[in-house]
């Protein structure tokens, strides 16, 4: 992990843009743009956690949307019972996400590579169907939050701009936390387990346990994203945790260039803005987007940032 | 006599009907370098894998300093003082040489469930790692990614990782395999320097190395120990001559 | 009443299991031989159903529609293999997942554009549209029995193909020792194409057979695909026998769980919470089953050796 000034420039720029975006938005369709960028940041948080798993631990989870769903449903179910206090709901959301991660991780992490992909996918689908069968909480139709979360009784997220900056703070916090973890003792073991698990075991690390802790961390951050998403949309439904959402999270990570963390934020922005743009052109935007994915995989390895840096390299060479 | 560092008692391993380890017993004492030689397919790597814990034996027991480790996972064995190198080089390719070794230091010093604080700035880890690299003459290449090291350097790196674990017993699975004559010479010198600090089990085809280094030699054929003794005794054993050494010793 | 229901639901479970097997068989073959994770396998099932509806509308004959749909699905599958998939075999699983995910997005939307978003249906052939009396008071649709029968027949044919023919031998060898097979000078590319085409046809066949009793709609392949994953993971990737047994197991557990969860829960709790909790538990059953199997056997029930 060599972190020089040039690699620091990009994350700083990303957060500066996000911090100033509301100012720019106030000159345009403010509500719409604020909403869009809030979503970008929320999915950025979820994608960060997934990039931590995939990019640093080699754990390609295809069920990450489950955690988003768990976080969102925790907020909504509490809301349905008249509890919207962040000091209660957020910790519970994190604990439930951690528990789910711990239990499913115990099974998933005993398996490798493609088994891991399929099993995380299956557990994600399980949560999706469970949410759909919760008839008291709207079943397949989902349910609406009566109001956004409050802190010690104050409706601090009621204002869209306040929500935006709260989400930005959580994004920055998650980013810094994961970056610290990646460089820490724990992160080093986790990264090593991606490179060569047998070697790690023979020098004395119980790889499984470290991976499970990492899985729980990523699950909690996914849950946090879900909690924020429920607040942003004031609505939750099983579709938040459908397997397509999990796939989209992987795409975001891949878009931004896997194993960079800040790339996940770029990827989330690229994905959602592209979806928004293509969706504005035609309702059949997936007809364009699908083949685009295929082409990106076939021709642009290393994601958008990788693509950008290879172009830059070529330019500076020629 | 003191308790052996490694005691293998009647170890057996079969894959279906194929018997790969057929009742092997051997002791390695503190400071001793015990070489295990034998033709390809004799079951040498299988033996090492069972001792290090990556393969479960079908029968028999393995003791490390008197403690039964037969069913322990590899990471627990490592904490009891067992280190190994692999026949096919096994390092972390995208970690620097220093970080490869620092991880081994980290494994035995303090908790690795520390989530903040940069591991690469812990001087205690880096100093110990550097010391191990110096012992195998790799200190000048500390910052090179393991993937970019030459084959011989990777072998040396494996040795440094093992050293950093401060083992009581080091298993070496063909450390000379694939290295040129010059690099082998260098490795022999390094091993000679390390001899006596801990017990070693050396599996090797390079007879120069074996006879230069070994205190005792066991000859393994078809999963059994054919002969065991001092190098001179083994060299003189007629059964060994016909079964294996033959033309290799002129 | 309960006993009758039990028999009928067991048959339904069997029928569902057979359907899952048809899809899982292709998936496990393709994965076992090519180490290729193909998410687009589910849309090939969907495509089979749509093509059958289309050809039926053109010809009015189910059998012709079936054959034409299989042929068209095969051609389309080979086209995909040729243009996209074969460039993915040596990529890592993550890239395979993304690219085939893109194909799903495209095809799900594509059928919406071509055939509309509204569910379509395919009539059951006249002579097979009745019911049989299994025993006094128990009626069962002939078509569902047809699905069970044809699925079992396919399983038998697959078993014979894999265990008795040269291609089958290569498939078995490929599932366990792929590098060796290619080192032996077998044209691996052709083998892959055969295996892939075959898997596609099986999925399409499942789609055609199920079309008369399910609504044919965009996205119908997605949830089935994930269940097929559960099947091959439980069965052991690359194992045909494992896929067969796991498919029937999943089909039965899921179907019976859904129909009896509430009744069973009512034995231990009042009816109202039972009605709430029952469906949630029923929808979790197969995943819990998967978790249990994998906890004790991480490589599935019948792990292909060497993987």
Cβ atoms of C32 and C239 within 8 Å: the answer is yes
Residues ≥6 apart with Cβ < 8 Å to B106 = A185, A188, A189, B112, B119, B125
Contact yes or no for C283 and A126 at CB 8 A: yes
In a domain, B87, yes or no: no
Q: For tokens 């928004």, what's the residue?
A: A276
Interchain contact A283–C (C-beta under 8 A): no
- Alpha-carbon distance of A246 to A253, in angstroms, equals 11
pLDDT of residue C176: 64
Same domain for B46 and B33?
A: yes
ipTM above threshold 0.90 = no
Same domain for B15 and B77?
A: yes
Q: Which of A185, A204, A210 sits opposite B78 (nearest CB)?
A: A204
Q: In C35-139, where does DSSP find H-type helix?
A: 41-59, 62-83, 93-115
Contact yes or no for C283 and A287 at CB 8 A: no
pLDDT of residue C278: 80
In a domain, B88, yes or no: no
Q: Which of A184, A192, A202 sits opposite B118 (nearest CB)?
A: A184
| CATH value at residue B37 | 3.40.50.300
Tokens of C135: 């025993």
Strands (E), C118-211: 131-135, 138-141
Task: Give the mean pLDDT per block of 10 residues along chain B (250 residues).
Answer: 86 86 91 89 88 91 92 92 87 94 92 89 93 92 93 89 92 86 86 90 88 91 88 83 57
For chain C, report the end-to-end CA distance as a whole number of angstroms: 48
* Domain span holding position C72: 2-216
Task: Indicate if the alpha-carbon torsion angle A52, A54, A57, A61 is positive or negative.
Answer: positive
Instruction: Classify strands B33-37 and B67-68 as parallel, antiparallel or unpaired.
Output: unpaired
Task: Indicate if the alpha-carbon torsion angle A171, A173, A175, A177 is positive or negative.
Answer: negative
Chain C residues whose beta carbon lies within 8 Å of the beta carbon of residue A121: 226, 229
Three-class SS state of A223: helix
In a domain, B86, yes or no: no
* Cβ pairs A/B, distance under 8 A: 100
Interchain contact A56–B (C-beta under 8 A): no
Residues 89-148 of B with CB under 8 A from A: 90-95, 99, 102-104, 106-108, 110-120, 122
Q: Which of B54, B74, B173 to mutate to test the interface with A (most CBs of A within 10 A)?
A: B74
Q: Which of B115, B168, B171, B172 to mutate to test the interface with A (most CBs of A within 10 A)?
A: B115
Among B165, B185, B213, the domain boundary falls at: B165
Cβ atoms of B211 and B231 within 8 Å: the answer is yes
Same domain for B6 and B57?
A: yes
Among B165, B197, B212, the domain boundary falls at: B165
Tens-level pLDDT at each residue, chain A (318 residues): 444 455 688 899 899 999 988 888 778 777 888 999 999 999 999 999 999 999 999 999 999 999 999 999 999 999 889 888 888 999 999 999 999 999 999 989 988 778 898 889 889 999 998 898 888 888 888 898 887 887 887 777 778 888 999 999 999 999 999 999 999 999 999 999 999 999 999 999 999 999 999 999 999 999 999 999 999 998 999 999 999 999 999 999 988 888 899 999 999 999 999 999 888 888 888 899 999 889 888 887 656 666 666 666 666 664
Tokens of A256: 């931004």
Interchain contact C290–A (C-beta under 8 A): yes
In a domain, B71, yes or no: yes
Nearest to C222 by CA among C80, C100, C43: C43
Contact yes or no for C229 and A121 at CB 8 A: yes
Nearest to B130 by CA among B161, B93, B98: B98
Q: Which of A1, A180, A203 to mutate to test the interface with B (most CBs of B within 10 A)?
A: A203
Q: Which of A54, A59, A117 to mutate to test the interface with C (most CBs of C within 10 A)?
A: A117
As for how many domains chain B has, the answer is 2
Nearest to A231 by CA among A137, A161, A148: A148
Same domain for B40 and B159?
A: no
Same domain for B153 and B215?
A: no
Rounded to 5 degrees, φ, ψ at C300 are 90, 180
Residues 103-122 of A with CB under 8 A from C: 104, 106-107, 110-111, 113-115, 117-119, 121-122
Same domain for B74 and B179?
A: yes
In our burial notation (b when 16+ CB lie closer than 10 A, e otherwise), range B43-74 reads: bbbbbbbbbbbbbebeebebbbbeeebbebeb
Cβ atoms of B102 and B129 within 8 Å: the answer is yes
* Domain span holding position B213: 1-81+167-250
Q: Which of A119, A121, A130 sits opposite C284 (nearest CB)?
A: A130
Mean pLDDT of all residues in C106-112: 93
Task: Give the gyration radius of chain C's Cα atoms.
Answer: 20
**C229: closest chain A residue by CA:** A118
Task: Indicate if the alpha-carbon torsion angle C110, C116, C118, C124 is positive or negative.
Answer: negative
Nearest to A122 by CA among A216, A5, A239, A241: A241
Interchain contact C215–A (C-beta under 8 A): no
As for how many domains chain C has, the answer is 1
Q: What is the pLDDT of residues A64-121, one digit of tens each?
A: 999 999 999 999 999 889 888 888 999 999 999 999 999 999 989 988 778 898 889 8
Q: What is the pLDDT of residues A221-255, one digit of tens each?
A: 999 999 999 999 989 999 999 999 999 999 999 88
Three-class SS state of C110: helix
Cβ atoms of A67 and A226 within 8 Å: the answer is yes
Same domain for B38 and B146?
A: no
pLDDT of residue C180: 67
- Calculate how close chain A gets to C106, using CA atoms only, in Å: 5
């Amino acid at each position: 992990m060599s972190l020089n000034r040039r690699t620091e420039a990009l994350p700083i720029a990303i957060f500066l843009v996000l911090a100033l975006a509301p100012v720019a938005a106030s000159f345009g369709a403010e509500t719409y743009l604020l909403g869009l960028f809030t979503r970008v940041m929320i999915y950025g948080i979820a994608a960060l956690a997934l990039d931590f798993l995939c990019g640093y631990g080699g754990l390609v989870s295809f069920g990450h949307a489950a955690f988003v769903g768990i976080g969102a449903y925790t907020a909504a179910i509490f809301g349905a019972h008249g509890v919207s206090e962040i000091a209660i709901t957020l910790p519970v959301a994190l604990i439930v996400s951690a528990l789910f991660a711990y239990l499913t991780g115990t099974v998933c992490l005993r398996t490798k590579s493609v088994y891991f992909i399929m099993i995380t996918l299956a557990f994600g689908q399980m949560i999706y169907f469970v949410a759909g069968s919760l008839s008291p909480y709207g079943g397949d139709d989902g349910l609406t939050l009566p109001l956004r979360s409050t802190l010690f009784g104050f409706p601090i997220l009621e204002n869209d701009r306040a929500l935006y900056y709260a989400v930005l703070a959580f994004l920055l916090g998650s980013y810094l936390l994961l970056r610290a973890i990646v460089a820490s003792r724990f992160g080093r073991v986790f990264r090593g387990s991606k490179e060569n698990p047998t070697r790690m075991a023979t020098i004395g690390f119980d790889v499984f346990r470290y991976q499970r802790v990492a899985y729980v961390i990523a699950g909690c951050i996914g849950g946090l994203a879900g909690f924020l998403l429920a607040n942003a949309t004031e609505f939750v439904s099983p579709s938040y945790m459908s397997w397509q959402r999990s796939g989209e999270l992987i795409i975001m990570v891949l878009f931004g260039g896997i194993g960079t963390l800040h790339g996940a934020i770029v990827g989330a922005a690229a994905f959602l803005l592209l979806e928004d743009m293509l969706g504005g052109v035609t309702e059949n935007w997936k007809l364009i987007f699908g083949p685009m994915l295929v082409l990106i995989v076939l021709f642009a390895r290393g994601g958008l940032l990788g693509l950008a840096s290879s172009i830059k390299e070529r330019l500076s060479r020629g | 006599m003191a308790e052996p560092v490694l005691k293998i008692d009647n170890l057996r391993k079969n894959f279906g009907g194929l018997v790969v380890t057929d009742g092997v017993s051997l002791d390695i004492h503190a400071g001793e370098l015990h070489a295990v030689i034998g033709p390809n397919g004799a079951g040498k790597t299988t033996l090492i894998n069972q001792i290090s814990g990556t393969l479960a034996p079908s029968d028999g027991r393995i003791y490390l300093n008197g403690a039964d480790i037969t069913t322990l996972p590899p990471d627990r064995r490592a904490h009891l003082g067992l280190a190994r190198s692999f026949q096919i080089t096994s390092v972390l390719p995208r970690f620097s040489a220093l970080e490869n070794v620092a991880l081994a230091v980290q494994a035995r010093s303090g908790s690795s469930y520390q989530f903040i604080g940069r591991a690469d700035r812990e001087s205690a880890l880096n100093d110990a790692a550097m010391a191990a690299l110096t012992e195998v003459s790799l200190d000048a290449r500390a910052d090179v990614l393991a993937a970019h090291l030459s084959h011989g350097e990777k072998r040396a790196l494996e040795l440094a990782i093992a050293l950093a674990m401060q083992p009581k017993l080091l298993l070496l699975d063909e450390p000379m395999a694939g290295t040129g004559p010059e690099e082998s010479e260098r490795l022999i010198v390094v091993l000679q320097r390390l001899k006596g600090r801990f017990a070693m089990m050396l599996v090797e085809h390079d007879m120069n190395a074996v006879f230069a280094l070994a205190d005792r030699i066991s000859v393994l054929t078809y999963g059994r120990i054919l002969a065991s003794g001092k190098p001179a005794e083994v060299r003189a054993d007629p059964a060994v001559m016909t079964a294996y050494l033959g033309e290799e010793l002129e | 009443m309960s006993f009758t229901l039990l028999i009928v639901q067991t048959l339904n479970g069997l029928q569902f299991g057979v359907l899952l097997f048809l899809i899982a068989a292709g998936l496990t073959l393709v994965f076992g031989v090519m180490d290729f994770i193909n998410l687009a396998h589910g849309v090939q099932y969907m495509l089979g159903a749509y093509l059958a509806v289309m050809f039926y509308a053109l010809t009015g004959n189910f059998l012709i529609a079936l054959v034409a749909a299989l042929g068209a699905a095969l051609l389309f599958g080979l086209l995909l293999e040729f243009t996209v998939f074969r460039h993915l075999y040596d990529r890592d699983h993550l890239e395979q997942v993304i690219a085939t995910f893109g194909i799903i997005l495209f095809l799900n939307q594509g059928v919406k554009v071509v055939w509309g978003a509204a569910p379509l249906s395919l009539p059951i052939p006249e002579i097979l549209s009745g019911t049989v009396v299994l025993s006094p008071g128990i009626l069962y649709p002939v078509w569902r029995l047809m699905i069970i029968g044809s699925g079992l027949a396919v399983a038998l044919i697959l078993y014979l193909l894999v265990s008795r023919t040269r291609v089958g031998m290569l498939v078995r060898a490929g599932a366990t020792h792929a590098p060796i097979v290619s080192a032996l000078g077998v044209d691996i590319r052709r083998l892959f194409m055969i295996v892939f085409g075959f898997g596609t046809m099986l999925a399409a066949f499942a789609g055609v057979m199920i079309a008369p009793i399910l609504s044919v709609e965009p996205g119908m392949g997605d949830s089935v695909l994930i269940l097929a994953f559960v099947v091959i993971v439980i069965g052991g990737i690359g194992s045909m026998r494992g896929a067969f047994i796991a498919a029937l197991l999943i089909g039965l557990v899921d179907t019976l769980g859904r129909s009896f969860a509430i009744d069973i829960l009512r034995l231990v709790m009042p009816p109202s919470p039972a009605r709430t909790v029952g469906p949630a538990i029923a929808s979790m059953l197969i995943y819990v089953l998967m978790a249990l199997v994998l906890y004790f056997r991480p490589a599935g029930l019948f792990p292909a050796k060497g993987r």
